[in-house]
Amino acid sequence: MMHLSLLAIASKSIVWSPKVAVVMILCNIIGIAIGKYTLPQLDARPALPAPAMFGGMGFPALLATCSLGHLIGAGAILGLASVGYL
């Protein structure tokens, strides 16, 4: 019974649009830039197939920076949607 009351207070979901995609892409770029300058070991193994294309990062660094970008992006999208921009 409690789950019904929780569903009643849940916010509406955001419709995917090109604006949402641009915000997520920009936030991923910001996450990669933050990680590039703060991670102590960018070239950890396993390596990516084309490391020069990814700035010399290994798979763990790319996974970490993109995860950070998605966390930033989720917050940005929810915030911009609550303000009414998206």
Domain boundaries, the chain: 15-83
Q: Could you give the dihedral angle defined by the CA atoms of residues 3, 67, 79 and 18, in that order, rounded to the nearest 10 degrees? A: -110
Task: Give the model's pLDDT for residue 61.
Answer: 86
One pLDDT digit (tens) per residue for the chain, 86 residues: 556 666 666 567 788 889 999 999 999 999 988 988 888 877 778 877 877 777 778 888 889 999 999 999 999 999 998 888 88
Cα-Cα-Cα-Cα dihedral sign, residues 29, 30, 32, 36: positive
Q: Is the pTM of this model over 0.75?
A: yes
